[in-house]
Structure 1
Amino acid sequence: MSEQSVLTVSDDLPLAVARPVHSGKVRSVYFLRPEDSRRLIQERGYPVAPHSDLAVMVISDRLSAFDCLWHSESLAGVPGKGAALNAIAAHWFESFGQAQLAPHHLLEMPHPMVWIVRQAKPLMIEAIARRYLTGSLWRAYAQGERVIGGVTLPDGLKQYQRFSELLFTPSTKGVVRGLRDVPETDDAPLSPAALRSHYQAFGLQSEAQLDACVTALRSGFECIERSLAQHGELLVDTKFEFGIAPTLHGGEELIYMDEVGTPDSSRIWRQDDWQRGQPKEHSKEQFREALMAWVEDRDMLLDPARMTERSAFAKANPVPDTFFEDLSHTYAAQAERILGSALPAMERPRERILDILSERFGLVS
C-alpha cells in the first residue's frame, strides 16, 4: 500500500462541532451540534431517543503501544489498520444485537474509517476479561503476585494456562482522585471491593448497574469467543468500555462503547498453536513482542515511571518497516477470517471521508 492510503491525522477535518474534537491515541471524536444530531436522527432513522447527542468517530492508522505512538522507517501508520478495526468491531456489535445483549453506540458506518455513534457518559472503567494466563498477568504471577485485581490465584499455574472461570480484572480509565483504596494513576487496578464501594465515582448509578456491566462483559466475551472458535481461534483476553445513554422511551441504559473484540483490544491465538504450548499472537501483541526483542532496554517499555523516556524514544527511533507490514497483514487476515470477505482498498481516505460527510450528512462546515 502507498503512503496515500494511510491516514495518520484524523482530528483536523472541518466538521461543524459543538465542542473541541477529542483526539485519542487511535480515534478522533467530533461531537456534533444538537441541531445536526436531531436532524440526522430524523433523516437517517436512527433508533435512539430524539434528544440524543451524536458524534462522528474517525479512526486512524496510527499505532499505539506501551502508551506511545510509533512509526516505521517509511510509514507513519499501519496500512489498512483503521479499516480492519472498524469492520471487526462493527461485526461484533451486530452479533451482540442478534444475541440480544446490551445495546451499543454504533449507528452507521458510512466509510470504512468512520462511525456515526450516539454519545454516552463513559464509565471510568476499563473492563478487562481474561481467559488465559499470559501477558502482564503472567509477568506479575511469575514474580510471585497471587492477588491480582482483587482475585486470588492459586500456586502452581503455568504460563498460557486456561482459567476455569473467566477472570475480570478492571482498571481505572483515566485518573480517579480522592478514593482511599484506589491509586491516583491512569490504568490503576481495581479490586472488586473497591469497585463496589465506590461505584458512583466511576459513573455508575447503582450496584445493579455494576452487576449489569459485569454481565455484559461476560456475555460479550463469550459471544466473540464462540464465533472465533469456529475459525480455530481462541479469545485470550479483551477489553470492554461502557457508557450510560438515554433510552428511546425515557430513562438511561448501559451500552457498549469504543471498540470490541479487535486485534488492538484483544489477544487472539490459534487453538492448535496453544495446544502445542507455543501460542503465536494474531493481534497487536505481536508488535509489542517484536518491539521488546528489538530494544536494548526492555524495562524502558514496561516501567510506568519511564514514560517520558519511552515517549522520546518512540519519536526518535523508527522501527523496521517489517514490523508495520507484518502487523498490516495480521489485521487484514483477521478481518477476512471474521467477516468472510476481504476489506476494501483504502485510497485517499481523507478526501473520500470529507466527500461523504459533506454530501450525505451535511456536516462539513
Structure 2
Amino acid sequence: MNTAIKETQFEFPNQTGFYKGKVRDVYMFEDKIAVVASDRISAFDVVLPLPIPFKGQVLNQIAAKFLAATADIVPNWVTSTPDPNVTIGKKCEPFKVEMVIRGYLAGHAWREYREGKRSICGVSLPEGLKENDKLPEPIITPTTKADEGHDEDISREDILAQGIVSAEDYAILEKYTRALFLRGTEMAADKGLILVDTKYEFGKADGNIYLIDEVHTPDSSRYFYAKGYEENQETNQPQKQLSKEFVRQWLIANDFQGKEGQKVPNMPNKIVNDISDRYIELYEMITGEKFQKADNTDMMDRIRKSIEENI
C-alpha cells in the first residue's frame, strides 16, 4: 500500500486557483485557501524524487499546535484543520520575504561563516565562533521569497530600499519574529530541546498582518537536544539534532547541493524510512504526544472530502 502523498490534483466547483509549492498543494477559493501538506521533501530548494511517508501529517499537525499556541502573539491564517494533512484558512497576500531568525551558528549561517563571511544579511558576527555556538543574541537574517529557484539572503536595508516591505510593516514583522522565536524557544526547552533557528512567513488581509504557512516544524526549523549540548560543544562533537539538516548532509555526502549540473542522488528505501522516522521522532519530542499515523487506505478520497465539507 502506498502510504505517501506525492501530489494532489483535485478540482472543486467553487475553486478560483491552484498553486503547487515545494511541499504544499494550495487550493484557492474566494476568501479562503485549503492547504494540503504533501509528503514531498525539498532540500537546497530542490524537491527530491521520493515522498516521505507521514511527513505531511507531521508538518500539518505540528504547525496547527504551534499556530494555536502563538495566536496571542500574532493572529494567524488558520480557521480549521479538518484532516491530518489539510489546513483551511484565510486567504492572505504574502510578503515577499521570509523572516529567518537564528539563535545559534548552524546550517547555512555556519557554512557562510566558515567561508570567511562575518556579516550575514547585514548583521555582523563576532570572530572566533565555531559551528553550533550560541550567538550573543538571536539575529534576523531574511531571505527573498522565490516563486521558483533559490531564496536569496537579503538585508533589512535592501528590503526597505527596494520597497519589498514598507518600513512600518517591516518593524512589525521584526517584532513578531522575535516574540514568536522566544515563545518557540520556551516551548522547546520545556521538552528538552533547543530551537536553533527557524523562519516565519507573514501575509496581509483586510489591512491586517497575519502569520501564515507553518510554524516550528522540522521543515522550517532546526532543533538540538538540550541534553549533551554543552559537552558536545566543548569536545567539538556534532550536535544531535532534529531537523532537515541530516537530509542536507546526506545529499552533500552524495555530491549534491542543488548547484547547476549536479544530479539528485537516488534515495534508498532505508534513507526514506529513516527520514520518516526522524520526522515522527520530532513530532513526539516537540509535542510530548504519541504520533498517531493516519489511515491512508483511501487517502485521496479522505483529503478531498475534508476540503469539500469545510470550504
- Fold shared by both chains (TM-score > 0.5): yes
Q: What do residues 87-115 of structure 1 show as CA deviations (whole Å, max 9, x unaligned)?
A: 11111101102xx2111111100001011
**Structure 2 gap ranges (5+):** 233-237
Select the residue among 90, 95, 110 that pairs with 1:138: 110
Select the residue among 343, 346, 356 that pairs with 2:291: 343
User: How many Å apart are 1:215 and its aligned residue?
Assistant: 0.6
**1:13 and 2:10 correspond:** yes
Question: Aligned residue for 2:54?
Answer: 80
Amino acid aligned to 1:115: T
Amino acid aligned to 2:179: S
Amino acid aligned to 1:194: D
Select the residue among 93, 103, 112 that pairs with 2:67: 93
**1:240 and 2:203 correspond:** no
Question: Aligned residue for 2:75?
Answer: 103
5 Å-filtered alignment, 1:208-227, equals 208-227=168-187
Select the residue among 21, 24, 34 that pairs with 1:24: 21
Amino acid aligned to 1:80: F
User: How many Å apart are 1:356 and its aligned residue?
Assistant: 2.8
Q: How many angstroms apart in 1 are the aligned matches of 2:185 and 2:158?
A: 28
CA contact 2:34–2:307 (8 Å) conserved in 1: no
5 Å-filtered alignment, 1:1-365, equals 2-3=1-2, 5-10=3-8, 12-32=9-29, 34=30, 53-71=31-49, 76-97=50-71, 100-174=72-146, 186-198=150-162, 201-202=163-164, 204=165, 206-246=166-206, 252-277=207-232, 278-293=238-253, 295=254, 297=255, 300-301=256-257, 303=259, 306=260, 309-310=261-262, 313-314=263-264, 317-346=265-294, 347=296, 348-358=298-308, 360-361=309-310
User: How many Å apart are 1:276 and its aligned residue?
Assistant: 2.2
User: How many Å apart are 1:253 and its aligned residue?
Assistant: 1.2
CA contact 1:29–1:55 (8 Å) conserved in 2: yes
The alignment covers a number of residue pairs equal to 304
Q: Which moved more, 1:337-346 or 1:216-225?
A: 337-346
Amino acid aligned to 1:6: A
Cα distance 1:280–1:13, how it changes in 2: closer, same or farther (>3 A)?
same
Q: How many angstroms apart in 2 are the aligned matches of 1:137 and 1:354?
A: 40
Q: What do residues 120-151 of structure 1 show as CA deviations (whole Å, max 9, x unaligned)?
A: 11100011000111112111111211121101
Q: How many angstroms apart in 2 are the aligned matches of 1:356 and 1:127?
A: 31
User: How many Å apart are 1:168 and its aligned residue?
Assistant: 0.4
Amino acid aligned to 1:197: A
Q: How many angstroms apart in 1 are the aligned matches of 2:121 and 2:306?
A: 44
**Structure 1 gap ranges (5+):** 35-52, 177-184, 247-251
Q: How many angstroms apart in 2 are the aligned matches of 1:221 and 1:19?
A: 34
CA contact 2:86–2:307 (8 Å) conserved in 1: no
Structure with more helix by fraction: 1
Cα distance 1:15–1:66, how it changes in 2: closer, same or farther (>3 A)?
same
Amino acid aligned to 1:69: V
Q: How many angstroms apart in 1 are the aligned matches of 2:307 and 2:170?
A: 37
User: How many Å apart are 1:175 and its aligned residue?
Assistant: 7.2
Q: How many angstroms apart in 2 are the aligned matches of 1:344 and 1:13?
A: 26
Amino acid aligned to 2:118: R
CA contact 1:290–1:323 (8 Å) conserved in 2: no
Which one has the largest radius of gyration? 1
CA contact 1:128–1:240 (8 Å) conserved in 2: yes
Cα distance 1:353–1:222, how it changes in 2: closer, same or farther (>3 A)?
same
Q: How many angstroms apart in 2 are the aligned matches of 1:259 and 1:357?
A: 18
